[in-house]
Amino acid sequence: MARAIVNVPARAKRGEIVEVKTLAQHPMETGFRRTQTGELIPRDIIRRFTCTYNGTEVYRVDLHPAMSANPLIAFSTIATETGTLAFQWAGDNGYSVTETASIRVE
């Protein structure tokens, strides 16, 4: 199961700064930990998160080991036009999750 929760205001005024909040379900296994018998637990992390707004990239972040599990990424963007924000998380072991949210700008 790979779930993500995104939160974008449903409507905004043109030019307004809006806050976007995202939460992705992921263990963010660092690759540095060992089991009780000494075997290395392989790394399993989200590598990259991107957000596009009507096709234009507005936010991107690279993630690294030792970031918390189920990372919460919040950022702001400017409400320019009515449309869709598309979110993508990609990482180790073929992890890939997408979500969308729409915003009405008046």
Question: Min. distance of Cβ 7 from another protein in angstroms?
Answer: 3
Q: Number of residues in contact with another protein, rule: CB under 8 A?
A: 15
Residue 11 contacts another protein per CB under 8 A = no
* 68 in contact with another protein (CB under 8 A): yes
Q: In what order do the strands lie in the sheet with 96-105?
A: 11-12, 96-105, 83-91, 46-53, 56-62
Tokens 């400017």, residue located = 78
Closest CA to 98 of 4, 1, 21, 27: 4
Q: Give the list of residues 6+ apart from residue 94 with CB closer than 8 angstroms, or none.
A: none
Q: Which is nearer to another protein, 14 or 41 (CB)?
A: 41
Residue from 25, 50, 80, 82 that binds another protein (CB under 8 A)?
Answer: 25
Check residue 21 for interaction with another protein (CB under 8 A).
Answer: yes
**DSSP 3-state assignment of 92?**
helix
Find the shortest distance in angstroms from Cβ 42 to another protein: 17
Contact residues for another protein (CB under 8 A)? 1, 3, 5-7, 21, 23, 25, 27-28, 68-70, 72, 74
